[in-house]
Structure 1
Amino acid sequence: MDWLNRFASVWLIDFEFSQPPGERPSVVCLVAREFHSKRLFRIGMKELRELDQPPFDVGREALLVAYFSSAEWNCFLALGWPLPECVLDLWCEFRCSLNGTRPAAGWGLLGCLAHFGLDSMLASEKTEMRELAISGGPYSSEEMVALLDYCQTDVDALDQLLPMMVPQMDIPRAIHRGRYMKAVAMMESAGVPIDVGTLAMFRRQWEPIKAKLIAAIDRDFGVYDGTTFKMDRFESYLIRHGIPWPETDSGRLALDDETFRQQAKSYPQVAPLRELRHALSEMKLEKLAVGIDGRNRTMLSPFQSRSGRNQPSNNKFIFGPSVWLRGLIRPDRGRAVAYVDWSQQELGIAAALSGDPALAQAYNSGDPYLEFAKMAGAVPAAATKKSHPAERSAYKVCMLATQYGMGEHGLAAKLNK
């Protein structure tokens, strides 16, 4: 707790807001309490929109605490307020502390309170008030008071949780995660520019497009009857081509997307069928969240995966459905969009943190997977990505599997060995 005393003020905050799909939030109210002095702000919609900056300090001497705080920083951005310097997100820390498990009452604020043995508002009451906030108003004075009271219950919950959670935290990394939540809010607020005209055409013509996609891809497989995937036909295809396929516990062929994705790595000829199935199952174009300004915005769900990655909705986010739909991304006239990625980021971090000179050598070679194969004597020193693609691919799987702690059975399945 001494760590909290380093800050001149520690503000516990929560907003209520309305946010139609694809839009920026419309802020309904704000409650903020200073942890040490217990000073309290309760500010309704009308007063909030008259403020050009927060009613409390957001500089280096202040710490702002929230639960799943990207929502709060989206509200800051919608109001035109500067983002705070230092952020502590109790959701991130709850998620981090129990990663790989499932809390009995879930990951929400109510679940966090239950985990720490604290009382909370009934879920039914919370749902009712959340729906009132989402309606967007207009609100009577009584409704606004009720919303502020509801908002304050979340702030009161933060007030109880903070002293219980801080002693368990890795503070420097907690602050770093809070910083990332600000970055997430900026990404969500900006959104991705979409060619809305072409999207509208796709939505109108989606049924004929599906039929043509199936006709184009299925001519090489013969596993569809109309728009229905037939298990027996697929089984016959696998037998004809000598392709082994994982089964479920019940003995049926595993048809989930992850199985298809892994099998496509070993048997590239099934990749088009995987893309087709993915497109037909995941691509619900009416759910793609596009705002009135033509921007695709949805919750990026940071830290949702066990590896700590973002996990946005595949239906609502432009990067979720099949890759070819990314052609709908279109910048405004006079602007450009860059699609960038880190090169072997995980291996670079592992080399730096471990101090392993062999891993550093592999990373610095520019192609660590091929360099690993050379170190193992699997390919000659003059080998290239073009000359030994299969060996490079196998050693890439091996290198990443080793880094993430995969066992020999999992590696054998990945390599189909």
Structure 2
Amino acid sequence: MAWCDPYDEIWVVDFEYRCPSGHRPFVVCMVAKELRSGRVIRLWRDDLLKLDRAPFAAGRSSLVIAYYAAAEMSCFLELGWPLPVNVVDLHVEFRCATNGVPVAHGNGLVGALIYFGLPVTGLDDKDEIRSLIIDNCIYTGDQRKRILEYCESDVSAAARLWEVLCDSLTDPYCRWRGEYTKSIAAMERRGIPVDVEKLDYISEHRSEIVTALITEAEQRLGCRFFIDDCFNTRLFTEWVRVRGIDWPRLESGALALNDGVFRDMAKVHPDVDVVRTLRRTLIQLRNNKLAVGPDGRNRCILSPFASVTGRNQPSSSKFIFGQSKWLRSVIRPEPGKALAYIDWDQQEFGIAAALSGDKAMMTAYDSGDPYLGFAKLVGAVSPSATRETHGAERDIYKTVVLGVQYSMGEAGLAARLACSRLEARNLLKQHRAAFSRFWQWQERVVNSAILTGRLRTVFDWQRAVPADANPRSLANFPMQGNGAEMMRMAAVLATEAGIGICAPVHDAFLIEADADSVDSDVACMQSCMTKASAAVLGGFKLRSDAEIVRYPDRFDFGGEWVWDVINRSLDPYQI
């Protein structure tokens, strides 16, 4: 018997809607088909608005299927309908089945059909119909007919895909992933409150701000890098030479100037971070695509399961947490409201400790400061050492721990710590000796992945492993992939508890609450995060930290000097 046989009804559903940047969806129509009876429901917007719930069974005895279900769940919420109890997202399941495998035609519905050799009948004019929906507010009778037919063709296509995928799906994991799409829809609907007035003035006075930022950065570093507001490679190359910085170069001999190189070099040379922040800021000021709706909230597609590890991957240009840290200072609670930023404490270290069963790592995590715990374990500091008394030593062992999590070798560690390779080698030996069981487990993970061609998380998110896979990315997958599982479970638990999650941010959540109840909401959110960590890690619980701001205060996410310059530039306008 197939796992889905006990359900009385299985419905495939699709909505058509338009959704300008930063807005909530404007529902146009819906088509749903029950797979066993063949019954089809086709409804236009005016009929949908008359309903207080879905026009088909969506309770415990039914299964609802969609392709990219977060969009359909957003339409349910916009219409004020109760969400379906059981959801399977075929987009997510296709991603899971092909994760790590080249998909020639993309991860959209058409790409999935082509991948499995299924017909794409009725989807030939997909772009034309989507443009028709997006570009119009009023539709003729003929246009309505075409849009409904197109919507039904998507339903039929999803039904064909379901027939191929159904038997390979594992219950309850596929429904659990579907459950997360409901939380995603709730987060996308809520959005992140921002100071629109400040954003507007930053946009209007961009030229003045750019000049002020360049002047400030060049004064800080005592060197000129820009000519006519443009980064000058020759001037920067000379600054690197004078400073004696061993900067990575291209085959041509020129400096490698991509953002990844700047990020890595800034960890060794703090002044480089000033240049990197300035370059990123100027690009963002010139190409502002932050998605802000008419209600003053940043909203964009959160793209769940888009990364190889199953994490969300929203657009870095549209999502405020994808921008430079200084811009996050425009996040501000509304009057009477509060925001809380809650993140797991050393999530990856805790996951590695629990999954490997390394008691020494668990003890180091439970100490409250795994970096200092590691230093104490190898005798680098006294048992009474604290962050205040031995901050420099802690920073060294923190770099070692983080480097090991990403399979950094002695050369990379030496560059990061600005020490000799011999010193870096000895530090790595200390880590191997202190956490030997972790190293043995990590080696087994990599060997198993190469032999079986597959990696899995605790809740069965999968990644195919090609023959030429990078062992470093394989070694880090259990931490990243299970960290994503933890985020999803916490989000689902918190959504069910009524917590107002604005957004997931890698290993953290931004939540919104009334100012007088935010403390209890934070406690509830942290409880959900603790339960999620225990569920993923076999009972081992991870800590979380919380920072709360109430109106009219703001968070300080870093990049203070940029924010200070912008505020000084806007002082004459009393903003």
Q: TM-score, normalised by structure 1?
A: 0.93
Shift of 1:350: 3.3
Shift of 1:64: 1.5
Q: Does 1:67 align with 2:31?
A: no
Q: Secondary structure at the match of 2:42?
A: strand
The aligned counterpart of 2:175 is 175
Indicate if the aligned counterparts of 2:268 and 2:415 stay in contact, CA closer than 8 A: no
Output the CA distance in 2 between the equivalents of 1:267 and 1:106: 40
Indicate if the aligned counterparts of 1:18 and 1:136 stay in contact, CA closer than 8 A: no
Amino acid at match of 1:119: P
Indicate if the aligned counterparts of 2:88 and 2:174 stay in contact, CA closer than 8 A: yes
Indicate if the aligned counterparts of 2:122 and 2:150 stay in contact, CA closer than 8 A: no
Output the CA distance in 1 between the equivalents of 2:314 and 2:292: 14
> Greater CA deviation, 8-17 or 133-142?
133-142
Which residue of 332, 335, 347 maps to 1:333? 335
> Greater CA deviation, 389-398 or 309-318?
389-398
Change in CA separation of 1:89 and 1:328 when aligned onto 2, cut-off 3 Å: same
Q: Secondary structure at the match of 1:213?
A: helix
Change in CA separation of 1:96 and 1:394 when aligned onto 2, cut-off 3 Å: farther
Amino acid at match of 1:190: R
Query: Once superposed, what is the RMSD of the aligned Cα atoms?
Result: 2.2
Amino acid at match of 1:367: D
Alpha-carbon displacement from aligned partner over 1:201-248 (angstroms, at most 9, x marks no partner) = 111001111111111012214221131111121111112222211223
Q: Secondary structure at the match of 1:341?
A: strand
The aligned counterpart of 1:281 is 283
Between Structure 1 and Structure 2, how many residues are aligned?
417
Aligned pairs (5 A) from 1:154-165: 154-165=154-165
Shift of 1:86: 1.8
Output the CA distance in 1 between the equivalents of 2:93 and 2:409: 29
Amino acid at match of 2:184: V
Q: Does 1:297 align with 2:265?
A: no
Alpha-carbon displacement from aligned partner over 1:112-131 (angstroms, at most 9, x marks no partner) = 11111112158761100111
The aligned counterpart of 1:231 is 233
Output the CA distance in 2 between the equivalents of 1:198 and 1:39: 52
Alpha-carbon displacement from aligned partner over 1:25-59 (angstroms, at most 9, x marks no partner) = 00011111122222211111211111111112222
> Greater CA deviation, 69-78 or 165-174?
165-174
Shift of 1:256: 1.5
Shift of 1:388: 3.9
Output the CA distance in 1 between the equivalents of 2:251 and 2:144: 53
Amino acid at match of 1:100: G
Change in CA separation of 1:243 and 1:384 when aligned onto 2, cut-off 3 Å: farther
Aligned pairs (5 A) from 1:238-253: 238-253=240-255
Which residue of 343, 346, 356 maps to 2:345? 343
Output the CA distance in 2 between the equivalents of 1:122 and 1:215: 58
Amino acid at match of 1:131: S
Output the CA distance in 1 between the equivalents of 2:386 and 2:144: 67
Output the CA distance in 2 between the equivalents of 1:349 and 1:234: 41
Shift of 1:96: 2.2
Shift of 1:279: 0.8
Amino acid at match of 1:297: R
Output the CA distance in 2 between the equivalents of 1:51 and 1:170: 33
Q: Secondary structure at the match of 2:388?
A: coil
Output the CA distance in 1 between the equivalents of 2:376 and 2:25: 53
Q: Secondary structure at the match of 1:340?
A: strand
Percent identity between the two aligned chains = 47
Shift of 1:274: 1.1
Amino acid at match of 2:73: W
The aligned counterpart of 1:18 is 18
Shift of 1:80: 0.8
Q: Does 1:149 align with 2:112?
A: no
Alpha-carbon displacement from aligned partner over 1:121-176 (angstroms, at most 9, x marks no partner) = 58761100111121243111221111111111111111111132233334333222
Output the CA distance in 1 between the equivalents of 2:165 and 2:218: 55
Change in CA separation of 1:8 and 1:369 when aligned onto 2, cut-off 3 Å: farther
Output the CA distance in 2 between the equivalents of 1:284 and 1:172: 47
Q: Secondary structure at the match of 1:383?
A: coil
Shift of 1:394: 4.1
Output the CA distance in 2 between the equivalents of 1:91 and 1:412: 43
Q: Does 1:43 align with 2:43?
A: yes
Q: Secondary structure at the match of 1:336?
A: strand
Change in CA separation of 1:82 and 1:284 when aligned onto 2, cut-off 3 Å: farther
Change in CA separation of 1:385 and 1:174 when aligned onto 2, cut-off 3 Å: farther
Amino acid at match of 1:311: Q
The aligned counterpart of 2:541 is none
> Greater CA deviation, 331-340 or 381-390?
381-390
> Greater CA deviation, 391-400 or 97-106?
391-400
Output the CA distance in 2 between the equivalents of 1:29 and 1:165: 27
Output the CA distance in 2 between the equivalents of 1:166 and 1:409: 48
Indicate if the aligned counterparts of 1:283 and 1:321 stay in contact, CA closer than 8 A: no
Q: TM-score, normalised by structure 2?
A: 0.68
Change in CA separation of 1:409 and 1:181 when aligned onto 2, cut-off 3 Å: farther
The aligned counterpart of 2:270 is 268
Alpha-carbon displacement from aligned partner over 1:311-334 (angstroms, at most 9, x marks no partner) = 222222222222122222222211
Q: Does 1:360 align with 2:383?
A: no
Indicate if the aligned counterparts of 1:113 and 1:157 stay in contact, CA closer than 8 A: yes
Q: Secondary structure at the match of 2:68?
A: coil
Indicate if the aligned counterparts of 1:18 and 1:133 stay in contact, CA closer than 8 A: yes
Change in CA separation of 1:293 and 1:5 when aligned onto 2, cut-off 3 Å: same
Indicate if the aligned counterparts of 1:203 and 1:285 stay in contact, CA closer than 8 A: no
The aligned counterpart of 1:399 is 401
Shift of 1:397: 4.0
Structure 1, unaligned runs of 5 or more: none
The aligned counterpart of 2:90 is 90
Indicate if the aligned counterparts of 2:206 and 2:285 stay in contact, CA closer than 8 A: no
Q: Secondary structure at the match of 1:43?
A: strand
Change in CA separation of 1:385 and 1:102 when aligned onto 2, cut-off 3 Å: farther
Change in CA separation of 1:108 and 1:258 when aligned onto 2, cut-off 3 Å: same
> Greater CA deviation, 295-304 or 370-379?
370-379
